[in-house]
Structure formats: C-alpha cells, structure tokens
C-alpha cells in the first residue's frame, strides 16, 4: 500500500473529488494503521463563494493555494475538525472535503479516538464512527496540526482502492453551506451505508 502520486492531486477539484471515491484514506500512528474507503466527497474551488479560498489567501487557507497533494484541516463550530485534500496546481485555491469513509482497519483505535464503544458490535455504532466530516477527522485524530502535511510522502496518505464505476457515483448538492447551494459538487458512492446524507431524488 503506497501513496498516490502528485499527479493524481494536481487536477481540478471536481475531477479529484470523483476519483477519490473508492480510494483509501490511510494514517499510520506508530504500529497502528488506520484506514478507510472514501465514500463521500465535496469539491471546492477558488471561484466558488462557498469555498474558504474564495476571499484569498489567509493564514488558515494558505495551504489550499499550494500545489495539490497536501492536507488542509480546519477547525469549525468551536469543536470539530474537517479534513480536505488540496488539489490543482500551485497558486490555485481549491480542495476536496472528505465527508465520509467506510472503516477498513484500525477500527478499535478509531472508536477510542471517537470516545465510543464499538465492542457491542452494533452496526449503527460502526457507521456513526466515520459517517461525517467531523466524525472521520476525530476517528483519524486529524487536527490543525496536520494541515499542510504532504500526502505523497508521509504517515498520512491516499492509497489506491477499488475502482468505482461512473454509474455508482451520485452527484448532489453540498451540505451545510449558505451560498452556491445549487452546485452539484458533492459526490458519493450510491448505496454506501457511511454516506452522511442521501440525496432526495433517486
């Protein structure tokens, strides 16, 4: 299992958001390997009023303007972190928010990080571990300290996974934004149980 190369990330966020579906988010913490299949993403771009990069470079958003293949983590609502994959060439402010993953390995550790007991074996507890951007950031213990991390050369990376056919990818509107709400820039694997919010239509 090895990191996807820089060239995967330097494409536009709309492309990378779709291509990330089915790949693995991986984090090594000592001997523990946390990993999960990315099942839901959202694309954000520089010309996009809903994007943190829309108003230009700030201390927080600087990493979004760097070359693709880095991690952008922000803190929101006074208590949650959200993890993004920076995309595009150097100088362009765009990224893909990872909204949900399906846990693969390190599930016990994720449960500890989430302060949840998963030993009951209840399906709902396994799902609630990582079915949202704040939840998966907590499960993978990702914070602002990790913002700027290089995903092509380090302990946090994206690895190749199952190829998802186009027919299984649903495009929907993004969650939790107050502007540019009409853009269908959220993508998820149809039918996957970890998707945070299913689209209205069928």
Partner DNA sequence: AAGGCGATTGCCT
Partner DNA sequence: GGCAATCGCCTTT
CB of 118 to DNA, least distance (A): 13
Helix, strand or coil for residue 19?
Answer: helix
Rounded to the nearest angstrom, the gap between the alpha carbon of residue 67 and the centroid of all alpha carbons in its chain is 17
Q: How many angstroms separate the CA atoms of 196 and 120, rounded?
A: 22
For DNA, the binding residues in 148-177 under the rule CB under 7 A are 174-177
Which residues are paired to 186 by β-bridges? 42, 172
Which residues are paired to 80 by β-bridges? 76
Element (H, E) at 38: strand 32-44
- By beta-carbon proximity to DNA, the closer residue of 134 and 154 is 134
Residues 173-202, mask of contacts with DNA (x by CB under 7 A)? -xxxxx-----------------x------
Residues 26-65, mask of contacts with DNA (x by CB under 7 A)? ----------------x-x-----xxxx-x--xxxx--x-
Q: How many angstroms separate the CA atoms of 179 and 172, rounded?
A: 15
The residue range among 4-12, 80-88, 151-159, 165-173 that interacts with DNA, by the rule CB under 7 A, is 80-88
Out of 88, 132, 170, 187, name the contact with DNA by CB under 7 A. 132
């Amino acid at each position: 299992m090895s990191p996807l190369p820089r060239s995967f990330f330097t494409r536009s966020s709309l492309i990378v958001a779709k291509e990330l579906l089915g790949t693995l988010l991986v984090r090594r913490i000592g001997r523990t390997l946390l990993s999960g299949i990315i099942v839901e993403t959202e694309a954000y771009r520089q010309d996009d009023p809903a994007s943190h990069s829309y108003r230009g470079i700030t201390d927080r958003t600087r990493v979004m303007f760097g070359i693709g293949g880095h991690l952008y983590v922000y803190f929101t609502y006074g208590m949650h972190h959200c993890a993004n994959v920076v995309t595009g060439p150097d100088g362009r402010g765009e990224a893909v928010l990872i909204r949900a993953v399906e846990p693969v390995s390190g599930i016990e550790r994720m449960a500890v990080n989430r302060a949840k007991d998963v030993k009951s074996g209840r399906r709902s507890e396994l799902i609630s571990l990582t079915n949202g951007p704040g939840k998966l950031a907590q499960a993978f213990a990702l914070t602002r300290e990790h913002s700027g991390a290089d995903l092509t050369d380090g302990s946090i990376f994206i690895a190749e996974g199952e190829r998802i056919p186009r027919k299984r990818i649903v495009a929907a509107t993004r969650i939790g934004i107050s502007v540019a709400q009409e853009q269908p820039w959220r993508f998820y694997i149809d039918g996957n149980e970890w998707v945070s919010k299913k689209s209205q239509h069928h």
